[in-house]
Each structure stands twice: as C-alpha cells, then as structure tokens.
Chain A
Amino acid sequence: MSTEDFENASVAPDGQPAEEQPVWRQEYPIDWSASEYVTRREFTRLLLVTSFAFVVGQAWIVLSSLAKKVSAAQPPRVEIATVDQVPVGGSLLFYYPTDNSPCLLVHLKIDQYVAFNQKCTHLSCPVLPEVDQGRFHCPCHEGEFDIQTGVPLAGPPRRRLPQVTLEFANGRIYATGIEEGVA
C-alpha cells in the first residue's frame, strides 16, 4: 500500500479526494491520521485564544496601574486619631484610603507612630501587631513583618506592607497617603 493509499484509507461516498470534500467532512475525518491533524490544529487554535487572554490580562494590569496613579495623585488627608487616644505599645484599627482598606496605627514609643495596611502581602489575612517583639504577625501562615518598616522577616510574604504616611497637627494624627514598595 502506497503512502497516498494509506492516508486516504477511507473514501468519501462521492469518490472525490479529501481536499474536495465539504468542510464538515474535512473537519470530522474518519481516518486516524486526518483526525490527529485536525486535533492538533484545533489545540493550536485553543493556544491562540489562551495567548490572547494573556494579552488581555497584561492590558488589565496596565489599565489598573494607570487608574491607581490617577486616584493616588491626590491622596485624601484623613484624621484617624488623637495622639492621646493610643497608648504606647497600643494600636488602632482604621480604614484608609477606602472603607475596604483596613490599616493599623501603632504607637511604638513616645512620639513614634507607624501605620501600615493590615492585609498580609501573602494572601491578605489581617496581620496583628506584636510591639514587644517588634513585628507584625500573620497567624494564617506564620508570616512576620518588621513593625517599623513593614519589611517581611519570615514566612511566605515577599513584599513589604504598604505604609500609611502620617502627619501630626494640633495633637491629631492624619493619614496623608500610602507608600507601596518591594522588600
């Protein structure tokens, strides 16, 4: 049996070659080799769609980056507490810049306050301040962050906690912006 005969083991009812058959018959062939070809081609088409989806994802990152820059252009200045409201070693939960962004104000020493976003940079569990040990602790996966800088010290987190910049005026503490950054 020649190669040509082997490739055309099945003959269409009208006796015409495979290339001259209607599309539906070409797309659903009987012969194994033809079926394999169509399967590979269709898988390649699926990969093409996946490739397009990745480009859409990348475009989404660019758009959300631009949106973040626009919204961060004028960070709101929000009063979060008075200086005597939080004792040394204590902390206060507040929301900044939106109601969906829990943050922690921590009073480390006299006249030394820090504030960070409370979401762990690993999987967004709330971190807990442990001032005496100088760290934020994430109980979900034992992540740890430096309480003064927000830099990850241990566990799965690799990015530092976003820091809330603070301003003091007339015995009041104001949140004025968010500083994000890699460790």
Chain B
Amino acid sequence: MRRSPFSRSQRSTIVLGIMTLVLLLVILQLWLFTATMEAYLGGNDNIVVPGLVASLVCLLLNFGLFHYLRNLER
C-alpha cells in the first residue's frame, strides 16, 4: 500500500484548513437559502434559479475539497 506523502500532523492541519473552507461555503449556502426564501415569499421569483445554481456550485466545491481529503489518505 502506498503511504501518504504527508505525516499525520500535516494531514491534521490540511483537514482543518479544508474543514474551514467547507464551513465557510456552507455558511454562504445558508445565507443564499434565507435570501432566496425571503425573496420568493416576497413575490420575487427572479432570484430562485440563480440561487439554486450558486448553491450547486458551492456543493461541487465542497465535494471537490472532500474528495481531495479522501485522496490524502490513499
């Protein structure tokens, strides 16, 4: 089995950094969700599709970061 190029303490630092980025993106999604819901309930439908696209981009970024994290262990 190929060993990770990073030591455990290095990987711990990397996972902390990735966790922080993912957390920031999730907070951004929370803000997007509340703003979209507010606009939608106020009768403004123009923002709902861009809101979905932006949230989807955040999810893909999060998935990519997590995928990188998984690769670190292999």
Docked Cα-Cα span, A43 to B23, in Å, equals: 10
Across the two chains, which residue of chain B brings its CB closest to A183?
B42
Q: Give complex CA distance A40, B59 in Å.
A: 19
A-B contacts, CB under 8 A, total: 108
Q: Which residues of A contact B55 (CB under 8 A)?
A: 54-55, 58
- Chain A residues with a Cβ closer than 8 Å to the other chain, count: 40
- Flag whether A19 is at the interface (Cβ < 8 A): yes
Establish whether residues A44 and B1, one from each chain, have CB atoms under 8 Å apart when the complex forms. Answer: no
Contact in complex: B43, A182 (CB < 8 Å): yes
Q: What are 27 inter-chain pairs, A to B, with CB distance below 8 A?
A: A3-B7, A4-B7, A19-B1, A20-B1, A33-B8, A44-B18, A44-B22, A47-B19, A48-B22, A48-B63, A51-B58, A51-B59, A51-B62, A54-B29, A54-B33, A54-B55, A54-B58, A55-B55, A55-B56, A55-B59, A58-B32, A58-B48, A69-B45, A159-B42, A159-B43, A182-B44, A183-B42
By a beta-carbon cutoff of 8 Å, the part of chain A in contact with chain B is 3-4, 7, 17-20, 33-34, 36-37, 40-41, 43-45, 47-48, 50-52, 54-55, 57-59, 61-62, 64-65, 68-69, 121, 158-159, 162, 180-183
